[in-house]
């Protein structure tokens, strides 16, 4: 009798890092995209169901560690404040998606090699 084949999958994650640690992974990219779309750190955080503090800390960390800020924020004024993703941030998003697409192909291609 054939042994039941368990649905084993290959999965993984990639990120861009500095010596100081991880700088850009899927979560941060999604955050940047939602900031871009909403113009607000708070709205982006709400959409991702994370606290504003968590979102702000991530943005702040990226701004500190990229050589150029990825988000510029303003407080006060119409709407209470706003945040925009910089050219640098847009490039980072784009770069990550290109790498991630390659990685997904890698996972797909190597998935068939699993034989346990």
Partner DNA sequence: TTTCGTTATATTTTTATTTATATAACGAAA
Partner DNA sequence: TTTCGTTATATAAATAAAAATATAACGAAA
**What SS3 class is residue 74?**
strand
Which one, of 4, 2, 12, 1, lies nearest residue 111 by Cα?
Answer: 12
Q: Which does 101 bind (CB under 5 to 8 A by kind): a second copy, DNA, none?
A: none
Stretch that binds DNA, among 1-9, 18-26, 35-43, 87-95 (CB under 7 A): 35-43
In degrees and rounded to multiples of 5, residue 68 shows phi and psi of: -135, 140
Q: Footprint of DNA on residues 60-99 (CB under 7 A)?
A: 60, 73-83
Closest to DNA by CB, 36 vs 99, is: 36
Which one, of 70, 18, 8, lies nearest residue 41 by Cα?
Answer: 70
Binding residues (CB under 8 A) for a second copy: these are 3-4, 6-19, 22-23, 66-67, 88, 91-92, 95, 98-99, 102-103, 106-107, 110, 113-116
**What SS3 class is residue 19?**
coil
């Amino acid at each position: 009798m054939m042994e039941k084949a368990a649905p084993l999958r290959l999965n993984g994650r990639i990120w861009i890092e500095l010596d100081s640690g991880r700088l850009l992974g899927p979560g941060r990219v999604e955050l940047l995209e939602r900031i871009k779309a909403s113009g607000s750190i708070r709205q982006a955080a709400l959409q991702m169901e994370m606290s504003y503090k968590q979102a702000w800390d991530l943005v702040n960390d990226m701004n500190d560690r990229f050589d150029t800020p990825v988000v510029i924020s303003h407080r006060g004024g119409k709407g209470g404040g706003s945040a925009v993703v910089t050219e640098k941030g847009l490039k980072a998003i784009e770069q990550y998606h290109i790498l991630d697409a390659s990685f997904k192909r890698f996972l797909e291609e190597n998935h068939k090699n699993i034989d346990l």
